[in-house]
Amino acid sequence: MTQYVYRFGGGVAEGSAEDKNLLGGKGANLAEMAAIGLPVPPGFTISTEMCTRYYDEGERFPESLIEEVKAGVAHIETVTGKQFGSAADPLLVSVRSGARVSMPGMMDTVLNLGLNDETVRGLAEISGDERFAWDSYRRFVQMYSDVVLGLDHDAFEDALEIMKEDNGFFLDTDMEASHWQALVAEYKTIVEAQWGKPFPQDVNDQLWGAVSAVFGSWQADRAKVYRKLNDIPGNWGTAVNVQAMVFGNMGDTSATGVAFTRNPSTGEHAYYGEWLINAQGEDVVAGIRTPQYLTKSAREQAGAKPLSMEEAMPETFAELARVFDLLEAHYRDMQDIEFTVERGQLWMLQTRSGKRTAKAALKIAVDMVAEKLISEQEAILRVDPMALDQLLHPTLDPDAKRDVLTTGLPASPGAASGKIVFDADSAERHNEMGEDVILVRVETSPEDIHGMHAARGILTARGGMTSHAAVVARGMGRPCVSGAGSLSIDNNAGTLTIGSRVMKAGDVLTIDGSTGEVMLGEVPTLQPELVGDFGTLMVWADGVRRLRVRTNAETPNDCAVAREFGAEGIGLCRTEHMFFDASRITAVRQMILAESEEGRREALAKLLPEQRSDFAEIFRVMAGLPVTIRLLDPPLHEFLPHSESEFADVAEAAGIGIEVLKRRSAELHEFNPMLGHRGCRLGVTYPEIYEVQARAIFEAACDVAEESGAAPIPEVMIPLVATRKELTLMKAVVDDVAAQVFAEKGRVLEYLVGTMIELPRAALMADNIAHDAEFFSFGTNDLTQTTLGVSRDDAARFLGQYVDKGIYPRDPFVSLDIEGVGQLIEIAVEKGRKTRSDIKLGICGEHGGDPASIAFCEAAGLDYVSASPYRVPIARLAAAQAALKS
């Protein structure tokens, strides 16, 4: 027969911290604390398996459970010497939920269970405190009516307020025994009126009611929502913990508190917490009374008067401190603890690993290695890579007030405030005047780049996580909220409307690119602080990871930032992004719109020197590290001119009439530009474009080799290849130019030619393609788009619902669709290596900065991942964790 009840306390521990799945976190840790001899009030845990069975069998309990619970109660009675339901010396219990992972405040708790009209008198007698007994009883009736009977709790609050008013009292502490007794009578009348039956007097009925309520709370709406938000499966179920009550409200030698063994926001190795003298646990949490500081130094630092526990109860505090140290040494992690002192006796009610900020996580992990509590490898595994994001960008002051107008996609992390501007030029103008601005656009396009750079942050109404705005903003490290659908921008009126709120240019907004929140006014931010612990952990991480970490960058500044963050090369330099500059985009447009090779070459001649000097600068910054340069891959819709003035600029540059240009632009219009004339298709139709780009690369490489002696190793990458023939043709163009340049310069450099794998056909034909490719770089943005058949620019409108409905576990443009897209990568890796065993393999889609995707890359045996500069540290840590776990 399956055992459903597990006892603990009084020298018994039928479970341990290992049993979280069965006993829930709280139950497992209570058993563990009992096992190591800490003072835990005796009790028992009804397992999560029972919860699952309860729901499977139509919310009924099996006969066997009734016997097991009886034995559990008998265990508590034996240890405490009290009797459940006895009028002489009554046992009172708490009934609490406890799932595998903590779901704070989501599920139910009942305290003081076992009180009725008889036992309350026994409690008064035994405690010698009538007031305490009746106060406990009224708390119980109120809590039970709310949690178990589901009655309207306002009626109870009102009755208490009226009672206080009638007696001229302000505080609960003014109430005497007789008042609480009268209130209990009042409460019982309310119960009978609302519930239609008297308040249950049988203590066993009370217990089963509470157990059912706790199991029932697993399926409460709020618990379901919490589970969904935190990826907690619904079939896990909760355990129920029934435990002897201990009282922190038995006078001035009693107390209750919550504590962390280290500071959860700074990581400082100092006890951190709050306590209340003469109070029950919920008083601390509910904030009815202001809790006091635990330690003398914390109290003094805060300039508070009420005595700390260290001062008011020195002996008990010393014992508590001993328990803190013991628990930390035992669990080898910072603990979050609940305790109660009953008439000088300390009782431990809960312990668990404490939640902490990124800063604290780093400090605690590094400190614990120094304290020899954990190994360096454990320290690496203790820090959530994504949490590092908090340290790499300015964050909103958590204590600041915020007026949230709407929420869009958290497209690029960090927070920023500034005046609203609606176009890139204004952004630049205001920036030059020293003003902070937020660039607000329906969507961004390449000609907004200078404005995006000048702005503190970017807000768009349209576009997903891999939209132009999102990708560019992440690359630049600018906070960005994209796809905020409730934004309505009227460029003519110069207004931004969100719901009923209308703002105009110059009004101040704050955006949080880490949460997607858009707020009115300036919300203060905290600057990133790369403290020593951060660097230490990174060095350890680098020591264990196998995957190399590169960056996606195209400006010398971004390259420099990425190197500071530890990038070991460039995995993707998107050359079209180098043309965003206002002076160049006109030449690019001239090239695109040209009707003849001659026209294109004229435009390319303007671009060649600019490209050459850009590449040279990047080679200098990267100082001999590998640099993958991708030849032009412009989705045409991002580059064609739109406005009259843009057409006028191109007309002037090309010496052609505007009308001719407009006709040509109309001819180039595509219905599906993402699948249109882009990538190597451009190079196939206009080889002179790739020829000139290759020339710029090799000339720059030779120049830098000449001046520094450290020869750059360019890796020339051909985008959007579907067939080997495309690559064969383009590789020939590159190789020819290389040979020419080397002959001209009298110097031969090492270089590679490879391709992106970003189309399913390329993955499937990888063995064939590898004959011409010296490396593959998985362009998982396009590979996701083309495998799923979901446009990366339009996905935001519906993908959220897909994730809500569990169709995809996460946004597949953020975290790799391992089942589908991952399979194509595995196929390509295997086939590519079959043809060319030493083929270099990397990933340069946005997934290269996502820890779950990085773990996949480790397993798939890639050589490197490439992430945007601000994600490089995240990728380094994630790669180390992946290596340790594999």
780 binds ligand PEP (CB under 6 A): yes
Give the DSSP H or E segment for 94: strand 93-99
Partner that binds at residue 462, options Mg ion, ligand PEP, none, CB closer than 5 to 8 Å by kind: none
Secondary structure class of 556 (helix, strand, coil): helix
Among 781, 786, 868, 881, contact with ligand PEP (rule: CB under 6 A): 781
* CA–CA gap between residue 80 and residue 49 (Å, rounded): 28
572 binds ligand PEP (CB under 6 A): yes
241 binds ligand PEP (CB under 6 A): no
Nearer to ligand PEP, 181 or 787 (CB): 787
Tell the smallest beta-carbon distance from residue 780 to Mg ion (Å). 9
Put the strands of the sheet holding 12-13 in their side by side order. Answer: 12-13, 5-9, 43-46, 238-244, 93-99, 109-113
Residue 219, token pair as written in the block: 């399926």
Tell the smallest beta-carbon distance from residue 326 to ligand PEP (Å). 51
Window of 209-217, 472-480, 777-785, 815-823 that interacts with ligand PEP by CB under 6 A: 777-785
* CA–CA gap between residue 288 and residue 284 (Å, rounded): 7
782 binds Mg ion (CB under 5 A): yes
Tell the smallest beta-carbon distance from residue 846 to ligand PEP (Å). 7
Catalytic residue among 468, 680, 702, 857: 468
Catalytic residue among 559, 844, 847, 857: 844
123: number of Cβ within 10 Å: 26
Window of 89-97, 99-107, 190-198, 780-788 that interacts with Mg ion by CB under 5 A: 780-788
Window of 32-40, 444-452, 592-600, 753-761 that interacts with Mg ion by CB under 5 A: 753-761
Question: How far, in whole angstroms, is CA 374 from its chain's centroid?
Answer: 25
Nearer to Mg ion, 15 or 719 (CB): 719
DSSP symbol at 585:
H
Window of 221-229, 334-342, 754-762, 860-868 that interacts with Mg ion by CB under 5 A: 754-762
Give the binding-site size for ligand PEP (rule: CB under 6 A). Answer: 10
Q: Residues 851-870 vs ligand PEP: string with x where CB under 6 A?
A: --------------------
Tell the smallest beta-carbon distance from residue 715 to Mg ion (Å). 16
Check if the beta carbon of residue 353 is closer than 8 Å to that of residue 333. Answer: yes
Tell the smallest beta-carbon distance from residue 861 to ligand PEP (Å). 19
846 binds Mg ion (CB under 5 A): no
Partner that binds at residue 699, options ligand PEP, Mg ion, none, CB closer than 5 to 8 Å by kind: none
* CA–CA gap between residue 338 and residue 138 (Å, rounded): 23
Tell the smallest beta-carbon distance from residue 633 to Mg ion (Å). 6
Question: How far, in whole angstroms, is CA 589 from its chain's centroid?
Answer: 40
Give the binding-site size for Mg ion (rule: CB under 5 A). Answer: 3
Nearer to ligand PEP, 43 or 779 (CB): 779
Put the strands of the sheet holding 255-260 in their side by side order. Answer: 292-293, 272-277, 255-260, 335-342, 345-353
Tell the smallest beta-carbon distance from residue 630 to ligand PEP (Å). 7
Tell the smallest beta-carbon distance from residue 782 to ligand PEP (Å). 3
Give the DSSP H or E segment for 124: helix 119-127
Tell the smallest beta-carbon distance from residue 651 to ligand PEP (Å). 29
* CA–CA gap between residue 113 and residue 306 (Å, rounded): 32
Partner that binds at residue 572, options Mg ion, ligand PEP, none, CB closer than 5 to 8 Å by kind: ligand PEP
Check if the beta carbon of residue 719 is closer than 8 Å to that of residue 683. Answer: no
Secondary structure class of 575 (helix, strand, coil): helix
779 binds ligand PEP (CB under 6 A): yes
Residue 851, token pair as written in the block: 């820890």
* CA–CA gap between residue 778 and residue 823 (Å, rounded): 12
| Tally of CA atoms within 13 A in the half-sphere of 404 that contains its CB | 10
Check if the beta carbon of residue 821 is closer than 8 Å to that of residue 787. Answer: yes
Tell the smallest beta-carbon distance from residue 534 to ligand PEP (Å). 28
Nearer to ligand PEP, 45 or 781 (CB): 781
DSSP symbol at 820:
T
DSSP symbol at 385:
G
Among 446, 477, 779, 812, contact with Mg ion (rule: CB under 5 A): 779
Tell the smallest beta-carbon distance from residue 779 to Mg ion (Å). 4
512 binds Mg ion (CB under 5 A): no
Tell the smallest beta-carbon distance from residue 783 to Mg ion (Å). 8
Give the DSSP H or E segment for 380: helix 376-382
Partner that binds at residue 844, options Mg ion, ligand PEP, none, CB closer than 5 to 8 Å by kind: ligand PEP
845 binds ligand PEP (CB under 6 A): yes
Tell the smallest beta-carbon distance from residue 304 to Mg ion (Å). 58
Give the DSSP H or E segment for 326: helix 314-331
Q: 273 to 332, contacts with ligand PEP by CB under 6 A?
A: none
844 binds ligand PEP (CB under 6 A): yes
Among 32, 512, 758, 811, contact with ligand PEP (rule: CB under 6 A): 758
Window of 213-221, 641-649, 782-790, 872-880 that interacts with Mg ion by CB under 5 A: 782-790
Among 419, 450, 563, 574, contact with ligand PEP (rule: CB under 6 A): 574
| Closest residue to Mg ion, based on beta-carbon distance | 782
Give the DSSP H or E segment for 776: strand 775-778
* CA–CA gap between residue 441 and residue 421 (Å, rounded): 9
Window of 31-39, 102-110, 682-690, 778-786 that interacts with ligand PEP by CB under 6 A: 778-786
782 binds ligand PEP (CB under 6 A): yes
Quick one: which of 105, 99, 184 has its CA closest to 139? 184
Supply φ then ψ for residue 244, to 5 degrees.
-60, 135
Check if the beta carbon of residue 631 is closer than 8 Å to that of residue 716. Answer: yes
Residue type at 75 in one-letter notation: H
Nearer to Mg ion, 294 or 572 (CB): 572
Q: Are strands 548-552 and 570-574 parallel, antiparallel or unpaired?
A: parallel
Nearer to ligand PEP, 554 or 614 (CB): 554
* CA–CA gap between residue 334 and residue 267 (Å, rounded): 9
Check if the beta carbon of residue 241 is closer than 8 Å to that of residue 45. Answer: yes
759 binds ligand PEP (CB under 6 A): no
Active site residue 468: yes
Nearer to ligand PEP, 514 or 853 (CB): 853
Beta-carbon contacts of 332 under 8 Å, excluding residues fewer than 6 positions away, are 368, 373, 374, 378
E-strand stretches of 638-718: 714-718
581 binds ligand PEP (CB under 6 A): no
Q: Residues 594-633 vs ligand PEP: string with x where CB under 6 A?
A: ---------------------------------------x
737 binds ligand PEP (CB under 6 A): no
Active site residue 844: yes
Check if the beta carbon of residue 41 is closer than 8 Å to that of residue 19. Answer: no
Supply φ then ψ for residue 823, to 5 degrees.
-65, -40
Nearer to Mg ion, 132 or 778 (CB): 778
Window of 244-252, 258-266, 578-586, 780-788 that interacts with ligand PEP by CB under 6 A: 780-788
* CA–CA gap between residue 208 and residue 66 (Å, rounded): 9
Give the DSSP H or E segment for 95: strand 93-99
Find tokens 């090799």 and name the residue.
698
* CA–CA gap between residue 870 and residue 852 (Å, rounded): 17
Residue type at 627 in one-letter notation: V
553 binds ligand PEP (CB under 6 A): no
Residues that bind Mg ion (CB under 5 A): 758, 779, 782
Catalytic residues: 468, 844
Residues that bind ligand PEP (CB under 6 A): 572, 574, 633, 758, 779-782, 844-845
